[in-house]
Structure 1
Amino acid sequence: MREKRAIYGGTFDPVTNGHLDIIRRASKIFDEVTIAVADSSSKSPLFSLDVRVNMVEKSVAKISNVNVVSFNSLLVDLCSELGVDVLVRGLRGAGDFEYELNMGYANGSLKEGLETIYLISSLETQFISSSLVRSLLPFNGKISHLVPKEILEDIRRNYVYTT
């Protein structure tokens, strides 16, 4: 029988407990989950690609069927390159649903047979986003409940506030 493989893509700037919730749950559904960290230089990420990849790797180190890659192409092209036909997306609320539904349709139009599986965020992580974490950093706000404990020091060490 063919292994069930999926890709969960994002900028992960930084990876949060919300992302980790989706990753853990996807790892129970699929034999292998690839976390694809987007270069996203057009978004001007706060953390470098190398730092983001490293933080994701630390966050998922104890999940044996999860691996991490970086990419600077279309996510559907990475799916083709890796031979994966399923994308995993997390939904926090109605706003996410509309956006992600349209992205799912667009991705499906670019790669025949590509399916998108939507996982609804748990109640405990529904409010968490990378942008929330980034908004707290300039004020030295508490983020320990928002990000995996394994990367808390990495965030503080690699964060450089620029106005």
Structure 2
Amino acid sequence: MRVAVYPGSFDPITNGHLDIVQRGARVFDRVVVAVLHNSQKNPLFSVEERTRLIQEVTGDMKNVEVDSFDGLLVDYVHQRGAQVVIRGLRAVTDFEYELQFASMMRKLDSRVETLFMMTNNQYSFLSSGIVKEVASGGGDIKGLVPEAVEQALAGKYGY
């Protein structure tokens, strides 16, 4: 069975992330969307809220599982029996960081491959940070995030 892990903070998940999940699910037998608990960041949504939202928007994808983790990704990949880590690239500016990330993964375990997937062009500008910034100001985020995420952001920002 070909298992891939798609890690990230997903604070919140955007349609760009969802595009990568859907495409990954066509390539692999199972995709684990792994929500990172990063104590160095101050997320808007808790790990539990992010996990629940992702489960809600991926519920119709039978080979997609949602989980959370902390610690080293390579250890989590081993724990899940995965062989591949999926990383999304929006633009050239993402590449340098992602290359460093992939190189470190290879150093930690040369058996784990990193697969870069280019985001659909319509989402190349999109990030969770931009979505939160627009939503916090009451701007229109329709089409940038799934409807469940729109509602959750509205609840967080009180509109």
Indicate the TM-score class for this superposition, using the shorter chain for normalisation: over 0.9
1:92-141 superposed Cα distances (whole Å, 9 cap, x missing partner): 01111111011000011112301000000111111111011111122111
Task: Supply the AA of the counterpart residue of 1:116.
Answer: T
Give the whole-Å Cα distance in 1 for the aligned partners of 2:115 and 2:35. 18
Aligned mate of 2:60, from 59, 62, 66: 62
Normalising to structure 2: TM-score of the pair?
0.95
For 1:72-151, list aligned pairs within 5 A.
72-151=70-149
Number of matched pairs: 158
Give the whole-Å Cα distance in 2 for the aligned partners of 1:18 and 1:95. 16
Two-structure CA RMSD over aligned residues (Å): 1.2
The gaps in structure 2 that reach 5 residues or longer are: none
Q: Does the aligned pair in 1 maintain the 2:142–2:150 contact within 8 Å?
A: yes
Between 1:146-155 and 1:90-99, the stretch displaced more is: 146-155
Q: Does the aligned pair in 2 maintain the 1:92–1:127 contact within 8 Å?
A: yes
Q: Counterpart of 1:146 in 2: which secondary structure? A: coil
Return structure 1 stretches of 4+ with deviation > 6 angstroms.
none
Task: Supply the AA of the counterpart residue of 2:123.
Answer: T
Normalising to structure 1: TM-score of the pair?
0.93
Q: Does the aligned pair in 2 maintain the 1:58–1:151 contact within 8 Å?
A: no
Give the whole-Å Cα distance in 2 for the aligned partners of 1:43 and 1:151. 20
Deviation at residue 156 of structure 1 after TM alignment: 1.6
Give the whole-Å Cα distance in 1 for the aligned partners of 2:153 and 2:69. 21
The percentage of counterpart residues that share the same residue type is: 38
The gaps in structure 1 that reach 5 residues or longer are: none
